[in-house]
Amino acid sequence: MVATPQKPAYKVIGTRPVRPDGVDKVTGRAAYGADVVLEGMLFGSILRSPHAHARIKRIDTSKALALPGVKAIITNADFPTQESGTLDLGEGSANPKWLVDNVLAGDKVLYHGHAVAAVAAVDWHTAEEALGLIDVEYELLPFVIDVREAMLAAAPILHHDLRTNVRARNADTPKDRETNIAMHMRVEKGDLDAGFAEADIVIEREFTTSQFHQGYIEPQNGTAHWNHDGQITVWTSTQGAFSVRDQVATLLGQPVAKIKVVPMEIGGGFGGKIPVYLEPVAALLSKKTGHPVKMWMSREAVFQATGPTSATWDRVKIGAKRDGTLVAADVSLCFAAGAYPGSAVGAGVLCALAPYAIPNQRIDGFDVVTNTPKTAAYRAPGAPAAEYAVEAVVDEIARALDMDPLDLRLKNAPDEGDTNSSGAPWPRIGAKAVITAIKESAHYNSEIQGEDVGRGIALGFWFNGGMESSSSVAVNPDGSVSLILGSTDIGGTRASLAMQLAETLGVPYEAIKPQVVDTDSVGYTAVTGGSRTTFAGGWVAYDLGQEIRKRLTERAARIWGVDVSAVTYNDDATITGTDKDGKAQRFTFEEICRRLPSTGGHIAVSAMSRRNTAGPAYAGHIADVKVDRETGKVTVLRYTAVQDVGTAIHPSYVEGQIQGGAAQGIGMALQEEYWYDDQGHLRNGSFLDYRMPVANDLPPIEVILVEVPNPGHPFGVRGVGEVPIVPPQAAIRNALRDAIGVNFYHTPVTPTRILDELLPRA
């Protein structure tokens, strides 16, 4: 770990205690969505579109309804009509009109696997059998999968009422004709022409990236009960219980007061478990039948119909002076949003050039609908594709100038006070600290040996989110403190938040009892996403700890009969002072807690925090690869991830996040991609053929933690979970260039594509 000199001497922060949910998870007792069993429960299943694009002319459910055991069938028509609008999902937003049409298709199916109708039956097999008896008449329509083709004027149109929302000055994008381009945005600063005129070298390249899936191990699920008193309870696997509550309320046209969402343990999300798919359907089936209804997705449905990333088409042009100074950059990013607008291109635009201080720049982003599943957030949404393209061109510039790729990056890295792409000054950031740590690392200073081996590096940036978190605490007479949380625990946040409360109070970690509760039992808390939970939840824990310190100080003053100014709460959680007779007094934390019931009552406090001081995250990865020229197979020999983590609250979980992000990024770099046939059918909707790396595809991923504390957080926390997925695609691609002399312009670089380059042209 690379520690900064000014780091305070923490007692709990920086240790590696056992997670509170650990025993239940390793013994199989933890309750996930699939474990929900309720009296009288029915089972729901969904009929999905066999076509990429078709008009639904007629749905005849009579035969299916006649099957014994079938209790109800619903379609889009059973939902209340939605007006266009904006519903905040925490990480991203949704138009309720499109959201409901994605949950169950409206007048058209827009992708292979689009939900068409839902059945509730007495058991799963009956529900599945009923699907085969639903008769849907389709009118096939021409479809478009590729983002480049979707942007053409002659492309098949998905939404005839869609017009381009132009948020770009001086752009000639038409605003008033039928199109698949939902949005064109532009961010610019400086003088682009003057910048390129200054450049001694200009490199312009075009890139494409495939669609990737989050690949969480637990499929989407949801159980709902619409009670006879109108109260609706939803049990589900989600990154944000309140986000589910708000989406379900909107889609069902019900006030939030009627809806309680119980978050079950989650088997991974990575951004994909923010939008709702099954929950509102289960609720409506429950309303129709009067029974609780449980639903879950097959893996195939997860691939077909839940959020992959955008496939992208990107162009990057960068100009540099002979000494390596980057003077101008022109970037264009086209992201396939899937069936409905709302890709992560906006974040891609803001992240693309964030690792560099380039004075003259313009970044265009296009959000384009295609006949593929509606994309959802995936770990640093938008950033991996955008920064991959930039990092590839920067690498080519370093080669052209015969400069060390790290030196080039260090020369152009931003510092505090430099401005980002939208012109705002950077707060304290770790860009240069990360590059320096790479330069000093054992990996970067090691020799690589052998034929067809190579090394690549790439940087990554992610903003991190703040948003809103709430918590309650109760101080117990035995000296323990209950900590009530609204955040789904994905990456160890029960532990990391309990640790921050323990540090604030000066008590041991074991004294804090964290618990994640439902939406009726804690204040509004945004999604576990945007790498925000340890940051924002930590702020709340800190505020609550300070309030407990204040109240315990007041209690001691009352017991001793003195003014609070005569009492001190010490960092070891003792309270000292002098009583009204001038005698020195002291309580340990346990002693004063024991006195609470008899001296005025227990202490319970709630707090909400919404701060926009999340510290941005920088990362840099080093990859060594070996290529088998005969088969095109790539072996990742060694991999190191360096990252500014602000302050590592629980270093093991921070390292775990970084290793997980790097593993997913390596999968994108080499193996993973959605594969559509010429009918627009997704053909590899399984873990067999959607090739995420397995354990022995990866080397041990070494982690170097750099700690540049975030001044916007009491413990210096920066989000850590997302940025590690950003550098791998470019780091591997640049290593492949080093190994075999080939520049690749598409990810993943599969063995097929490597052979295409290495084999003699036919």
Partner 1 sequence: MQALRYARATSIDEAVRMLREGGETARVLAGGTDVIVQARERRRVIDLFVDIKHIPEVMALEYDPQHGLRVGAAVPLYRVYGDANVQRVYPALRAAAHVIGGKAIQGRASLGGNLSNASPAADSIPAMMALDGVAEIAGPNGRREMRVDEFCTGPGRNALQPGEFIVALRFPQPAPHSGQAWERFIPRNEMDIAVVNAACALTLAGDTVTAARVTIGAVAPTTIMVPAAVEALVGRRLTDDTIAAAGTAAKDAATPIDDMRGTVRQRKHLADVLVQRVVRAAAERARGN
Which residues of this protein are in contact with partner 1, per CB under 8 A? 125, 128-129, 630-633, 670-671, 675, 683-684, 688-689, 691, 693-694, 696-697, 750-752, 755-756, 759, 762
The closest alpha carbon to 272, from 75, 107, 80, 488, belongs to 488
CB of 130 to partner 1, least distance (A): 11
Torsion-angle region of 716 (φ positive above 0: left; ψ -120 to 50: alpha; else: beta) = left
Size of the chain in residues = 762
State CA 6 to chain mean position distance. 31
Strand partners, 360: 328
CB of 451 to partner 1, least distance (A): 17
Of 197 and 759, the one with the shorter C-beta distance to partner 1 is 759
Between the CA of residue 323 and those of 115, 329, 434, 742, what are the distances in Å?
Answer: 56, 16, 22, 25
The closest alpha carbon to 714, from 500, 431, 433, 493, belongs to 500
CB of 374 to partner 1, least distance (A): 22
Find the helix or strand (DSSP H, E) in which 480 lies.
none
CB of 694 to partner 1, least distance (A): 5
CB of 67 to partner 1, least distance (A): 12
The closest alpha carbon to 613, from 429, 421, 475, 444, belongs to 429
Of 128 and 520, the one with the shorter C-beta distance to partner 1 is 128
Q: Would the CA dihedral through 304, 697, 265, 128 be positive or negative?
A: positive
Instruction: Report the C-alpha gap between 697 and 715 in whole angstroms.
Output: 37
Of 631 and 679, the one with the shorter C-beta distance to partner 1 is 631
Question: What contacts 152, CB < 8 A, 6 or more positions away?
Answer: none
Of 28 and 255, the one with the shorter C-beta distance to partner 1 is 28
Of 510 and 677, the one with the shorter C-beta distance to partner 1 is 677
CB of 241 to partner 1, least distance (A): 32
Instruction: Report the C-alpha gap between 623 and 336 in whole angstroms.
Output: 29
With contact defined as beta carbons under 8 Å apart, do 274 and 243 qualify? yes
State CA 203 to chain mean position distance. 32
CB of 216 to partner 1, least distance (A): 18
CB of 136 to partner 1, least distance (A): 17
Instruction: Report the C-alpha gap between 443 and 300 in whole angstroms.
Output: 40
Instruction: Report the C-alpha gap between 96 and 427 in whole angstroms.
Output: 36
Q: Show the tokens assigned to 396.
A: 């080519």
The closest alpha carbon to 705, from 638, 639, 615, 640, belongs to 640
CB of 68 to partner 1, least distance (A): 13
CB of 759 to partner 1, least distance (A): 6
Residue 330: φ, ψ to 5°: -125, 120
CB of 198 to partner 1, least distance (A): 44
Of 509 and 674, the one with the shorter C-beta distance to partner 1 is 674
Of 429 and 749, the one with the shorter C-beta distance to partner 1 is 749
Q: Show the tokens assigned to 623.
A: 């990859």
Of 152 and 759, the one with the shorter C-beta distance to partner 1 is 759
CB of 298 to partner 1, least distance (A): 9
Instruction: Report the C-alpha gap between 467 and 535 in whole angstroms.
Output: 10
Of 492 and 685, the one with the shorter C-beta distance to partner 1 is 685
With contact defined as beta carbons under 8 Å apart, do 426 and 616 qualify? yes
Of 595 and 746, the one with the shorter C-beta distance to partner 1 is 746
**Is there a cis peptide before residue 341, judged by omega within 30 degrees of 0?**
no
With contact defined as beta carbons under 8 Å apart, do 325 and 394 qualify? no
Between the CA of residue 585 and those of 553, 562, 566, 600, 635, what are the distances in Å?
Answer: 12, 11, 11, 19, 66
Of 529 and 728, the one with the shorter C-beta distance to partner 1 is 728
Of 302 and 603, the one with the shorter C-beta distance to partner 1 is 302
